[in-house]
Amino acid sequence: MDDENSHLTAGAAALLAESDERRIRAIRSRRWVLYPRAKQALDRLSLLLDHPRGTRMPSVAVYGDSGMGKTMIMKRFRDDHPPSFNSVTGTLRTPVLAMEMTSRPGERRFYAELLTLLGAPQRPRADIAQMEQAALRIMEAIGVQVLVIDEVHNILAGSYREQRIVLNTLRFLSNRLQISLVCFGVNDAREAIGGDVQLARRFEQFTLTRWSANEQFETLVASILRNTPLRRPSVLTPKSLRRILQITEGVTASIFHMINSLAVEAIENGHEQFTDEAVEKWHPEFDVEAAFA
């Protein structure tokens, strides 16, 4: 890597050779930036894959407000442990299976979603017992070790009875297949999982709290800047960092959005760096307060 570009990761530095349009597109389609809290979550989840099979498999619930990066972590975890083909046995192994809790919970809907994901959609009139058997058989055959469920707070959209049934189904799958569960959801999801005491006891909780003025937040911003293909290095003062927190209310998605849009601005106006002045002037395109004033 050029010494000149030592403020960037190798990937970001390579983009400097591209046109402005391409750099802007790269910023807008930014995929994944690793920050310490996400790494902690991923490390914790990876441990589940090393756990020996047993009757009470450990599980993890990741909670956080909307936009805190839960789905990003889920996809990363899934993609870090992709299906692999065993050429000796001729079988496919899928250690991590990731799904979304259906928007209205129910045993049938849950199994229908799972079976579609497994590539075995069922006839609309298949009975639940058949669906359950098919899901168990396929998951066993492909060696699922961790079942990941995003949007787990959707369970709360069901009636009390539906909620109990879905939680029962989760416990049943975990026991029967001796697999770990990983659930992602907004803070209300605690209540959803808490509806089944036995199930809840197995879950270790991991919370993604909103960012606040501390070293972790500085590390996040520094990681994003290192991944942002601007020609000149930037140093953001504590004042700018506070401003970013204030505007974004400490929500990960908004922090990425704000920094990305400042980066695009810095390419378009040729400044090629983040400045305190630009941070100070920045406003979200759609200002709710202004709209209702």
Ligand X SMILES: Nc1ncnc2c1ncn2[C@@H]1O[C@H](COP(=O)(O)OP(=O)(O)OP(=O)(O)O)[C@@H](O)[C@H]1O
30 near ligand X, judged by CB under 6 A: yes
Site residues for ligand X, 184-213, by CB under 6 A, read: 186
38 near ligand X, judged by CB under 6 A: yes
Site residues for ligand X, 243-272, by CB under 6 A, read: 252-253, 256
**Amino acid making up residue 277:** E
Can you point out the beta strands (E) in the chain? 59-64, 84-86, 91-93, 96-100, 146-150, 180-185, 203-208
Q: How far is the CB of 185 from Mg ion (least distance, A)?
A: 9
Q: Which is nearer to Mg ion, 66 or 89 (CB)?
A: 66
60: tokens are 């993890």
**Amino acid making up residue 123:** R
Q: How far is the CB of 194 from ligand X (least distance, A)?
A: 19
Q: Which is nearer to ligand X, 69 or 250 (CB)?
A: 69
Pairing of strands 146-150, 203-208: unpaired
Site residues for ligand X, 43-72, by CB under 6 A, read: 64, 66-72
Q: Which is nearer to ligand X, 99 or 136 (CB)?
A: 99
Please name which of 107, 108, 104, 98 lies closest in space to residue 171, comparing C-alpha atoms. 107
12: Cα separation from own chain's centroid: 22
Give burial (CB, 10 Å; 0-12/13-18/19+) of 278: middle
Q: How far is the CB of 61 from ligand X (least distance, A)?
A: 13
Q: How far is the CB of 80 from ligand X (least distance, A)?
A: 13
Q: How far is the CB of 234 from ligand X (least distance, A)?
A: 18
Q: How far is the CB of 69 from ligand X (least distance, A)?
A: 3
Q: How many chain residues touch Mg ion (CB under 5 A)?
A: 2
Q: How far is the CB of 227 from ligand X (least distance, A)?
A: 8
Give the contact letters, 102-121, x = binds to ligand X (CB under 6 A), - = no. --------------------
Nearest-angstrom CA–CA distance, 238 and 218: 9
Give the contact letters, 63-92, x = binds to Mg ion (CB under 5 A), - = no. -------xx---------------------
The answer to whether 237 and 276 have CB atoms below 8 angstroms apart is yes
Selection from Mg ion, ligand X, none that 229 binds (CB < 5 to 8 A by kind) is none
Nearest-angstrom CA–CA distance, 60 and 37: 15
168 near Mg ion, judged by CB under 5 A: no
Pairing of strands 96-100, 146-150: parallel
Pairing of strands 180-185, 203-208: unpaired
250: Cα separation from own chain's centroid: 17
Strand partners, 126: none
Interface positions with ligand X (CB under 6 A): 30, 32-33, 38, 64, 66-72, 186, 252-253, 256
Which positions lie near Mg ion, rule CB under 5 A?
A: 70-71
